[in-house]
Amino acid sequence: MDKIILSTKRVILRTWRPSDLAPMLAINANPQVMKYFPSTQNLDETQKLIDSCSSCYKKHGFTLFPVELKETSEFIGFVGLNVPGFNIPNFKSKSDIIVEIGWRLGSNHWNNGYATEAAMAVLRYAFTTLNLTEIISFTTVNNRASRRVMEKIGLHYDATSDFDHPKIALSSLLRPHVLYRKTQIEILKK
């Protein structure tokens, strides 16, 4: 049984269900959506992603949550929190556990503000309900759309923490990454 975690004006964030596999595969297989990733993802890779999200939720109480539109109940992608599966080179965290905020929506739902709306709710949830100390986000240097979302939700660019992603080939133009961050103290002051 899936559980609603957060609800905003237009979207619901919830736990994963088996019926999410097909629409998530369509998103992961879309070259436009995966432009800033090393490759698209097939059925097995998408299932592993969902399984990993479910495990993260069981272990930490957060994950990359499925997002559905309130009006139609349509699955449109995910927005949520994750623990990176690698060590970020030269990164100095302000908390015991490194937690990133991330999103991936189907391209037909871009430019509607859904990622920003959901990410704002997730960020508040992270700092108020989960009592996390710091949230980071990172992406390839040229991923302007994701960087705009990071800025809209109040994360600050930290040029001193830019890094070459250790899981991306040395020769890839996707290897250089930028890092944004925000602390709990910053959001609670508002």
Largest Cα–Cα separation, the chain = 44
Res 188 pLDDT > 70: no
- Give backbone dihedrals phi and psi of 136, rounded to 5 degrees, phi first: -120, 170
Output the pTM of the full model.
0.94
Residue with token string 């930490």: 60
Average pLDDT over residues 8-30: 98
Average pLDDT over residues 30-54: 97
- 88-115 per-position pLDDT tens digit: 988 888 888 899 999 999 999 999 999 9
Counting residues of the chain whose pLDDT is more than 70, the rounded percentage is 97
Res 190 pLDDT > 90: no
Q: How far is CA 105 from CA 26, 127, 163, in A?
A: 10, 23, 25
Per-residue pLDDT at 1: 65
| Among the listed residues 73, 66, 96, 70, the one whose alpha carbon sits nearest the alpha carbon of residue 83 | 96
Encoded tokens for 17: 């269900």
Res 189 pLDDT > 70: no
Average pLDDT over residues 16-44: 97
Integer Cα distance of 190 and 41 in angstroms: 39
3-class DSSP state of 75: strand
| Among the listed residues 16, 12, 6, 4, the one whose alpha carbon sits nearest the alpha carbon of residue 121 | 6
N-term to C-term CA, the chain: 36
Buried b (16+ CB within 10 A) or exposed e, 91-116: beeeeeebbbbbbbbbeebeeeebbb
Encoded tokens for 14: 């919830």
Rg (CA), the chain: 16
Res 63 pLDDT > 70: yes
Integer Cα distance of 109 and 45 in angstroms: 22
- 135-183 per-position pLDDT tens digit: 999 999 999 999 999 999 999 999 999 999 999 999 999 999 999 999 9
Per-residue pLDDT at 92: 85
Mean pLDDT of the chain: 95
Q: What is 4-188's CATH number?
A: 3.40.630.30
